[in-house]
Copies of this chain bind each other. A is one copy, B any other.
Amino acid sequence: MSKITFMGAGSTVFAKNVLGDCMLVPALEGFEFALYDIDKERLRDSENMLLNLAKSLMKKVTIKAYTSRKEALRGAKYVFNAIQVGGYQPSTVIDFEIPKKYGLRQTIADTTGIGGIFRNLRTIPVMLDFAKDMEEVCPDALFLNYTNPMAVLTGVMNRFTAIKTVGLCHSVQICTEHLFKALDMDHTGIKEKIAGINHMAWLLEVSKDGQDLYPEIKRRAKEKQKNKHDDMVRFELMDKFGFYVTESSEHNAEYHPYFIKRNYPELIEKYNIPLDEYPRRCENQIKGWEEMRDNLVNNKSLTHQRSHEYGSRIIEAMETNIPFKFGGNVLNTGRLISNLPELACVEVPCVADRSGITPTYVGELPAQLAGLNYTNINTQLVTIEAAMTKKKEYIYQAALLDPHTAAELSIDDIISLCDDLIEAHGEWIPTFD
């Protein structure tokens, strides 16, 4: 019996999306869906939910929750990863509150930036542990990573473990559709080309019937920008750098030195930037979960419609050999993007079919876009040095290389901030020399 394992299965809503999708794939009939989470209660919730769903959908799949990680992974053909290390409490709160004391404000803190660095530092060791188990009990499994920070974690898996890993993010799949909706344009029949790094990939081409749509897009965007809306940072980036970026304004606000600036406090208002957005979302999610839990977990007539998540489609392609093309995160081996470094993890069009995940060749990005990508890749690559060598100096350097952190704080404050964060995270991160 083939097996799909879900790490971090306690995320009941997301597990429903991904594994619910899988239930709807005829080629996966008869598969085992193995669930694992360190939170036993949430794990049981997800198990219940999926048992109900399978029954209600009348699908012949086996749902099984495991308390042993290695047993959950043993023999798996596909492994979904959606873990969060350290949780909202204490880790996310620390990542936001301590920088705030230094006057450094953030919105999401899950990618790069000071929050992203520490999120990586606590997640990498766990991922390496997963990989060690997998090398033993399912060395050929495909690891479909949904956990952030995407670029660093996917890069680490592919550089330092034997586990084939692809990183999946929602931002690229909905990029163009979202843009067209926002501008009240018709999205059908669009031809697009997207590449870059996770959360900062670029809509390099967008056309219909051979006609470049960017002039019209930019015209409408400029118009829209005259009034306040919830995606102003992204539109500003397009206006200034010429291309639309895959991730939302609340994310991009902290990837660049342009938006959250103590010297220009008015920019928060001007660009409508939701500071502390992620903690707010976490709290809403926690509250929301209490409300929706019963309906989701114990609902005998639970239903599901195939979502837009790439996960089930990739597996379906690999099982049926009908190719599926998607924007995936892979190492830039062979310089798929020729002007980004080979060790960077890039987000490029990939194809899934029976032969696995095959990335496609992109070529050269416009200089200014590669430039913006570099400013984030710098921190990513040095963060990986920190995690793999356990040397504190690389943590400092990663923070010093982050454009937003470096713009806002002095070297001394950055070092001190890192030291405070190292201390606050305590045992959630390894010991650094």
Interface residues, chain A, with chain B CB atoms under 8 Å away: 140, 189-193, 205, 210, 236, 240-242, 256-258, 261-264, 267, 323-325, 333-336, 338-339, 341-343, 349, 351, 353-356, 358-361, 363, 367-368, 370-372, 374-375, 377-379, 381-382, 384-385, 393-394, 396-397, 400-401, 403, 406-408, 410-411, 415
Contacts and interface: CB of A to CB of B under 8 A. Distances in A.
12 contacts: A258-B410, A261-B410, A263-B410, A351-B351, A351-B360, A367-B382, A368-B378, A368-B397, A372-B378, A374-B375, A375-B378, A407-B407
A381 B385 contact: no
A374 to B, nearest CB: 4
Assembly of this chain: how many copies?
Answer: 4
Contacts of A263: 262-263, 408, 410
A258 B400 contact: yes
Contacts of A258: 400, 406, 410-411
Contacts of A371: 374, 377-379, 381-382, 397, 401
A358 B355 contact: no
Contact of A336 (B140, B325, B361): B361
A301 to B, nearest CB: 34
Contacts of A333: 361, 363
Contacts of A334: 334-336, 338, 361, 363
The 7 A-B pairs with the shortest beta carbon distances in the complex, nearest first, are: A371-B378, A407-B407, A374-B374, A367-B381, A358-B360, A323-B325, A257-B406
Contacts of A205: 355
A267 B411 CA distance: 10
Contacts of A335: 334-335
Contacts of A355: 191-193, 205, 349
A3 to B, nearest CB: 13
Contact of A267 (B191, B336, B374, B410): B410
A385 B366 CA distance: 10
B360 A407 contact: no
A210 B140 contact: yes
Contact of A358 (B191, B341, B349): B349
B351 A323 contact: yes
